[in-house]
Amino acid sequence: MNGRPQRLPDRRTVLKGTALAAGGVLLGGLIGLTPATGALAAATPKVYTRTDWKARAPKNRIDVMAKGPTHIVVHHTATGNVSDTSTSHAAALSRSIQRYHMDHNGWSDTGQQLTISRGGHIMEGRDRTLQSIADGGHVIGAHTANHNSHTIGIENEGTYSSATPPAALMRSLVDTCSWLCLVYRLDPDEAIVGHRDYNATSCPGDKLYSMLPQLRKDVASRLREQLSHLGRVSGADLSLEQLPTYPVTPDSERVATFYHGPALGDRDASL
């Protein structure tokens, strides 16, 4: 799973239905469409911004590459499988991860680009992530040692060595991976991997890792639906709905331990 995924061909013609080819979904006809403008907005999930969860400013300016990632790395946070599915908890989780990464690890910012809570709330992680996705670029994170320059990381709240992730989390993971595959024209069968595919780690847990084949199938199915829709509305100007804000967050938040395997290596340029 460490090879470069199949890059899907670009075509300037309008989408004509949906096609499958020996390896993945053909994502042609999307030149000029971005998550922020045009028909692709319909495929963009609700993502809470750093402002929404009251992120700290990064210590240093975060590096952004002009080209997009080649792989989507699925992680688990290796923290408790809590029952709180509220947006306030999701916001507190993002702040706790950021504190740990910045204050304990000494990094510039949160390591991963995106975080999904057990309640299915999707949060922007590292600074400039949403803007870089909108531009078709890639924020260099700190989540998969020696592979941060070409991978985008999704942290999924919980420990999934034997426990099954909640349905809400898995639905949001499908939404997120579908969106990223659409934006970057990636074949989900090749692009979606687990942290252990690159590094010596148990992440994302035996149970979640065993669910990755089904995740790839679910994302491919979602892409077929999205491409069919985009083919019907190609050229339309669909606006993103306003991102909601979090309710008041707790005054005190426990800092958990977020170590689930190697996140930086000798070949990684920055924190």
Give the 3-state secondary structure of 91-121. HHHHHHHHHHHHHHCCCCCCCCCEEECCCCC
Q: Which residues contact 221 (CB under 8 A, 6 or more apart)?
A: none
Across the chain, which has 271 residues, the per-10-residue mean pLDDT values are 43 31 41 50 91 98 95 97 97 97 96 98 98 95 96 98 98 97 93 96 97 96 81 44 33 49 65 60
The model's pTM: 0.77
Q: 190's torsion region: left (phi>0), alpha (psi -120 to 50) or beta? A: alpha
Element (H, E) at 267: none
**Tokens at residue 57, please?**
């400013």
Supply the pLDDT for residue 232. Answer: 57
User: What gap in Å lies between CA 84 and CA 118, rounded to an integer?
Assistant: 8
User: What gap in Å lies between CA 63 and CA 52, rounded to an integer?
Assistant: 22
User: What gap in Å lies between CA 142 and CA 110, rounded to an integer?
Assistant: 8
User: What gap in Å lies between CA 29 and CA 14, rounded to an integer?
Assistant: 5
Domain ranges of the chain: 44-223
Supply the pLDDT for residue 244. Answer: 31
**Tokens at residue 95, please?**
């702040």
Task: Assign domain 44-223 to its CATH superfamily.
Answer: Peptidoglycan recognition protein-like (3.40.80.10)
Compute φ and ψ for 191, nearest 5 degrees.
Answer: -85, -30
